[in-house]
Structures are given as structure tokens and as C-alpha cells.
Chain A
Amino acid sequence: MIRLENISKAYRTRTGRHWVFKDVGFTIRRGEKIGILGRNGAGKSTLVRLIGGIEQPTSGRIVGDMSISWPLAFSGAFQHSLTGLDNLKFICRIYDKDPEEAAVAVEEFAELGRYMKEPIKTYSAGMRARLGFGISLAVDFDCFLIDEIVAVGDKRFQEKCYDELFVKRKDRAMIIVSHNDNFVRQRCDRAAVLARGTLTEFEDMDEAYAFYQANERG
């Protein structure tokens, strides 16, 4: 279970505090899949960063007992002068995973071949994303954070991603943040909408969608 309690986040700007949202709260249990809909600028990514522990909330707290992934397919946490394999080893050390095992899994999944031993700065954006996705799957978490739809690589690779996430890991919790209601409708048990500076939860998908439509302007 992970519970957000009265989470608010403000950023300092030249013209004073800017509140992204206030009093956001929800609970996600093991295996549950929650979709969070929001327009551009509604604060989706900020919410993902708070849940992922990348940034700290201005007030409120997040409690729970599940391990949470970093936003999936995110590749910014790499050291670009190091090789893919060195980065993989680093992340395995942090999360207490066996690097050898993870290396085999990632090599098979990301299909980078000999590029695993090349510095990441020589990778294309697609290769980086594949490596990032592969490593997050290898580390494995109780709850996966997915920022926007996983749009990595070609169609075949995307199918592989869906298979890994939604078939092989269907017992995991997932928080999927998106502006695409179709995707959320297909994949999630329930949805919440980030609009008007706070989060509103819905049990019914259609209600969530209607509310989302009614709040065009974040």
C-alpha cells in the first residue's frame, strides 16, 4: 500500500510561490492500477516525481510499504561517460540486485549487443530508453510509475514492453500518468483527474473522462 496524505507542492518563482497542486491524496494497494489523467501543465510529472521520491512535497506526506520504481523508461539517471554495463552495475548495487543476472536479462531485453560496453553518450535516444526500460524491469518493483505511455522503439519492441509490464507483471501495482484517456481506460482499474490544482478520484471511468473533458484548461 502507498498512501499520499494532503500532498501540496509549490515552486519558488520570481513572482512568489506557485502552487502546482494542493491537498492531493489517494491510496494504491498491491496489484492495483490507477490512471491519472491531466492536461499538459496540470502537474502530472510533478506528482510522479513526488511519488517516486525524486522531489519532496512542500507539505503533506507519503507513506507505504511498497517499493516504487523511478518513472519508467527514464534514462536521465545514467552517467553518460560510462558504459551501459557500468551504469547497470551501479544501479544494481544501489538496489541490491545481482549485476550478472540483471546484465543477462537486460541484454536480452534491450537488444543492445556490443553497445552494452560502449559509453552511453554514443547511444541513440531509442537505445537509451531501451536500456532504461530494461534496467527498471530487471531491478523489479512492487509499484511501477509510468509517466505517459511507454513509447519506446518500434512496434515489435513496444509489444515486448506491454508483455513485460501488463502480462508478466500484472500482479504489480502501477500508477500510470497520461493525457490519453483511452490508454488509461484499457489498462487501469480506476482513474483520477489532476485539474483545478488538485486531484479528484473517480470509481467510474466514464465519470473520470467526463470530468477530464470538462476541465480542458488544467
Chain B
Amino acid sequence: MDEGRQEVPRTSFMQSLAIQRRVIHALIMREVITRFGRHNIGFLWLFVEPMIFTVGVTLIWGALKSVHGSNLTIAAFAVTGYSSVLVWRNMPSRLVDSIEPNLSLMYHRNVRIFDIFAGRLLLEGVSVATSFLVLTIIFAAVGWLSLPEDPFKVVVGWLMLAWWGSGLGMFVGALSHRSELIDKFWHPMQYLLFPLSGSAFLVDALPPEFRDWVLILPMVHGVECVRDGFFGSEFVAHYDLGYMATINLIFTLLALVEIRRASRNLVPA
């Protein structure tokens, strides 16, 4: 029954790629103008907003934990932790219920749900990554933290987190088109997951029997990897990128299936 297909006009893989690039670019430009307009600092809010969050959290954590030891690690701990939260949390939040308000875009044959998702994910990724980078440089300049010991590990860990955020995001985003319950559940879920996500603790500081449980969550592995790259010589990191990649892959596949399903059932006004 589900064999309905639309193939007008046929394009080669390279042509399709070019169209997709164009469409995603157009969607990003549209999103930026719609969300930030042309007032005051405009699209710079894209980077400033996550920076305000992270700076706030750094100051609070710094104030609370300053009795325990050096400020140097607290800032690095907070920046790595909160930048990681923002990736896996903001990406899905941007995609939940993002199909409905964009339904009218489906009047343009080249625009697909995947493009709407990809545009928003890219925007969110760039926004959080820039905030992470800029804050690291500023904090290092004022002496709150030292630059990463192994920048490559930081990038890998962060990309793994972004992949997790994208996979999970596309999955819940497509699912939210099927049921409005997803939106209701996503908000409490993200709050409940935050304390377990590895952002506010080091896995090594947990009791060993609790470690295995927490390491079921893929984002814990990503945060640990980012921190390993940042200040790995100061603690024992616990992570398995192979495990994280497997979970990411599973969620990405589930997401693609769900997107396909949602695409078939679109009924624009």
C-alpha cells in the first residue's frame, strides 16, 4: 500500500545534492530573518544567547564550588559541561513541533521535512559551537581556564554529541508530527536527563556500581570525551565512542524511518 512515489523530475545524485544545499541554505536564511529580524544585534543573538546561558552557569557553579578547589578547573568543567548540554538539548527542542508551522513550505516540491530539520540542526550546531569556541578563548584569555590539552578529542567528542542531538532531534521531531504527546513529554524528559547527562559530574567521581548505569546514556560518553580533550591529565575519563556511535546510528536510522513516514502523511492546509 505504501508504495506511492513522486519522481518529477528525475535528477542525478549530484543534482539532488546541489538542490538540497540550495534549499537548506534558503531555509537557514529564512529562519535567521524570521527568528532574529533585522533589529539591534540581529543574527548575533544566535551566538550570544547560548553564551549568556553558559556564562551564567559557569558563574553559579564557580560560586558554589569555589570552596572545593581551584577556579581553573571549575570554569573548564562548566564550559565543557554546559556547551554539551546545549547541543543535545537544543537540537531536539528546535525540531519538536517544527513540521506543522512549516507545512506550507511543502508547496515547494524541492523542500522536504529532512531539509527543514537539517537547516535547523545546522543553525543550532553552529550557534552552540561558536559560543563554546568564543567562551573558551575569552575564559582562557582572562585566565579562568587553560586551552584544551588535546583539541582533536574535544572536536570529536563535541561532534559525537552533535550527532546524538541530531539523531534524537530528528526522531522526536518527526514523531511529534504523529502525536502531540511528544511535545508534552520532551520538556520533562530534558530536565530529568540533565542531571544524569554527565554535564554536572565526572563519571569517575561516581560510585563504581552507579557508573555503568549512567554510561547507558550516550551523551555521558560525549561529555567525558570533550573533557578528556580539555583537561584529561587532571582526571580519569570513562567513555566508549564505539558504544556512543552505535546508539547514535540506531537513533539516526529510526529518525529516517520516522521522517519517511511523516512525509507520506503530510497534509498541508
Proximity string of chain B (23-35) to chain A, C-beta cutoff 8 Å, 1 when within and 0 when not: 1011001100110
Q: Whole-angstrom distance between the alpha carbons of A82 and B2 in the complex?
A: 37
Q: Is B142 an interface residue (CB 8 A)?
A: no
Please give, as numbers and ranges, the residues of chain B lying within 8 Å of A91 by CB-CB distance: 108
A77 near B104: Cβ-Cβ < 8 Å: yes
B8 near A66: Cβ-Cβ < 8 Å: yes
Query: Whole-angstrom distance from the CB of A48 to the nearest CB of chain B?
Result: 11
| Nearest neighbor of A68 in chain B, beta-carbon distance | B8
Q: Is A189 an interface residue (CB 8 A)?
A: no
Residues 159-205 of B at the A interface (beta carbon under 8 Å) = none
Q: Is B5 an interface residue (CB 8 A)?
A: yes
Q: Is B208 an interface residue (CB 8 A)?
A: no
Query: Whole-angstrom distance from the CB of B2 to the nearest CB of chain A?
Result: 8
B8 near A79: Cβ-Cβ < 8 Å: no
Proximity string of chain B (98-109) to chain A, C-beta cutoff 8 Å, 1 when within and 0 when not: 000000111111
Q: Is B6 an interface residue (CB 8 A)?
A: yes
Q: Whole-angstrom distance between the alpha carbons of A67 and B104 in the complex?
A: 19
- Checking B19, B23, B263 against A56 with a beta-carbon cut-off of 8 angstroms, the contacting residue is B263
Q: Is B111 an interface residue (CB 8 A)?
A: yes
Q: Whole-angstrom distance between the alpha carbons of A151 and B105 in the complex?
A: 23
A to B contact number (C-beta, < 8 Å): 104
**Chain A interface residue count: which class?**
35 or more
A63 near B266: Cβ-Cβ < 8 Å: no
Proximity string of chain B (63-106) to chain A, C-beta cutoff 8 Å, 1 when within and 0 when not: 00000000000000000000000000000000000000000111
A90 near B8: Cβ-Cβ < 8 Å: no
B104 near A61: Cβ-Cβ < 8 Å: no
Please give, as numbers and ranges, the residues of chain B lying within 8 Å of A11 by CB-CB distance: 267
Interface residues of chain A, those whose CB is within 8 Å of chain B, are 2, 7, 11, 49-50, 52-68, 70-71, 74, 76-79, 81-82, 86, 89-91, 93-96
Interface residues of chain B, those whose CB is within 8 Å of chain A, are 1-10, 19, 22-23, 25-26, 29-30, 33-34, 104-111, 263-264, 266-269
27 A-B Cβ contacts within 8 A?
A: A11-B267, A49-B268, A50-B6, A52-B109, A55-B106, A55-B266, A56-B6, A58-B1, A59-B1, A60-B4, A60-B5, A61-B4, A61-B7, A62-B8, A63-B7, A63-B8, A65-B8, A70-B109, A74-B107, A76-B268, A77-B107, A79-B30, A86-B30, A86-B33, A91-B108, A93-B22, A95-B110
Q: Which 7 A-B pairs have the closest CB atoms?
A: A93-B26, A57-B4, A53-B109, A77-B107, A61-B5, A70-B107, A64-B8
